[in-house]
Amino acid sequence: MTQPRSDLPRIGYIGVGLMGLPMLTRLVTLGYAVSSYDVLPRQIDAAREAGAEAAGAPAEAARSADLVLLNLPTPDAVEHAVFGESGVASVLRPPQLLIDFSTVKVEQGRDFAARLRQHTGCGWIDAPVSGGPPASASGTLTVMAGGEAEDIARVAPLMAHVAARFTHMGPPGSGLAAKMINQLIVGANHAVLAEALVMAEAAGIDAARLPECLAGGYADSPLLQKVYPRMQARDFAPQGYARQLLKDLEMVSEFGAGLKAPLPLTGVALSLYRLLVRLGHAELDTTALLKLYEREAPK
């Protein structure tokens, strides 16, 4: 077991699920002292096995931390963990700092940051991520951040251990706005990949070789290279839940409507994921969108 290093900030980690646990494990391995909390006892047990301390409430995990990290599935979960009974806000004091890796609505994120500053004097960085559990485990996430410049500077050393790319997009809420655009691109492209796969198989070509065939051309992308092969292999084990992408696309649609931005392709992807979840596939990977196309494809 790696011994904690005194030169690294102490971490309070709240939400150690599909994305949080791999990141926590990496931080412990690098020598961070981590106190963890999750609403699911089995996740707390997994964090303890990874070398983290177990806390009984968000406030307990945050009390002695220099940096409090959130990695939670819904806006309600974020609000409860921070502002609810035994929440983080009940114990935070400057110079403690909160970093939220969750995806919430842009205005909610801005409101959360303002409330925390008003109630505690502490800063809040919205830092939604892209890359999935493998990138969380290897420290190669893409992180898009919103927050005050001095807070961003403080967390840069931590982010060097968490992300391959860490971009400060502006004041609080800016990282969440960038994440909305990220999810727009991801959601629409999942539908494109499913259609490409169905067409390739119907055409009788070797569908598995498409990423190799198209590499370096205009159709190439990380999604083609990483997501398409899992879709082609019918690997629907969750690296990102269908229900989570649906939740994010609902946010994208609402955010775009408020901006009066036309998003017809987002609307199509949103409808497809609504149907996928309605058919009972909420807990499968986002690649399971292929199931909708296979229902219509010739046998």
In angstroms, rounded to a whole number, what is the distance separating the alpha carbons of residues 100 and 159?
12
pLDDT in tens, 12-56: 999 999 999 999 999 999 999 999 999 999 999 999 999 999 999
- Tens-digit pLDDT profile for residues 110-137: 999 999 999 999 999 999 999 999 999 9
**What's the pLDDT tens digit per position in 251-291?**
999 999 999 999 999 999 999 999 999 999 999 999 999 99
C-alpha of 261 from chain center: 24
pLDDT, one tens digit per residue, over 201-254 is 999 999 999 999 999 999 999 999 999 999 999 999 999 999 999 999 999 999
For the chain, where are the alpha helices, taking DSSP H only?
A: 20-30, 41-49, 58-62, 75-83, 106-120, 132-138, 149-162, 174-203, 210-214, 222, 228-232, 242-259, 264-278, 290-296
Q: What is the pLDDT of residues 72-81, one digit of tens each?
A: 999 999 999 9
Tell me what pLDDT residue 1 has. 66
Q: Give per-residue pLDDT as tens, 127-184.
A: 999 999 999 999 999 999 999 999 999 999 999 999 999 999 999 999 999 999 999 9
In the predicted structure, residue 191 carries a pLDDT above the cut 70: yes
Contact 158, 44 (CB under 8 A): no
Model confidence band, residue 296 (pLDDT cutoffs 50, 70, 90):
low
| Region(s) of the chain under CATH 3.40.50.720 | 11-171
Residue 170 tokens, joined? 């502006």
What is the CATH number assigned to the segment(s) 11-171?
A: 3.40.50.720
Q: Does residue 297 carry a pLDDT above 90?
A: no
What is the spatial distance between Cα 51 and Cα 241, in angstroms, rounded to a whole number? Answer: 26
Query: Is 105 within 8 Å of 250 (Cβ atoms)?
Result: no
Under CATH, domain 177-296 is a member of which superfamily?
Answer: N-(1-d-carboxylethyl)-l-norvaline Dehydrogenase; domain 2 (1.10.1040.10)
What is the model's pLDDT at position 3?
Answer: 86
> pLDDT grade, residue 70 (50/70/90)?
very high
The model's pTM is 0.92
CATH 1.10.1040.10 spans which residues of the chain? 177-296
